[in-house]
Amino acid sequence: MLRSVTECSKESVVWTEAQPVQALALTGGGYRGFSTARSLQVMEDSIGVPLGRRFDLTCGTSIGGIIALAIAFEVPMREVVEVFERFGATIFPPHAKPTTGLRRLRDLLKHSRKPRYATARFAKQSRR
Band of pLDDT at residue 41, cut at 50, 70 and 90? very high
16 contact partners, CB below 8 Å, separation of at least 6: 1, 2
Residue 31 within any structural domain of the chain:
yes
Torsion angle of C-alpha atoms 99, 104, 37, 58, degrees rounded to 10: 140
Residue 121 within any structural domain of the chain:
no
Residue 12 within any structural domain of the chain:
no
Contact 15, 56 (CB under 8 A): yes
Domain that holds residue 48: 23-115
Residue 7 within any structural domain of the chain:
no
Residue 128 within any structural domain of the chain:
no
Backbone φ and ψ of 76, nearest 5°: -60, 135
- Write the CA distances from 34 to 24, 63, 105, 110, 111, integer angstroms: 17, 9, 27, 25, 22
Secondary structure class of 11 (helix, strand, coil): coil
Q: Does pLDDT of 111 surpass 60? A: yes
Q: Does pLDDT of 36 surpass 80? A: yes
Task: Tell me how far apart the alpha carbons of residues 126 and 80 are, in angstroms, rounded to a whole number.
Answer: 10
Q: Does pLDDT of 74 surpass 80? A: yes
Q: What is the mean pLDDT of the chain?
A: 80
Residue 120 within any structural domain of the chain:
no
Residue 91 has a CB neighbour count (10 Å cut-off) of 22
Residue 32 within any structural domain of the chain:
yes
Q: How many domains does the chain have?
A: 1
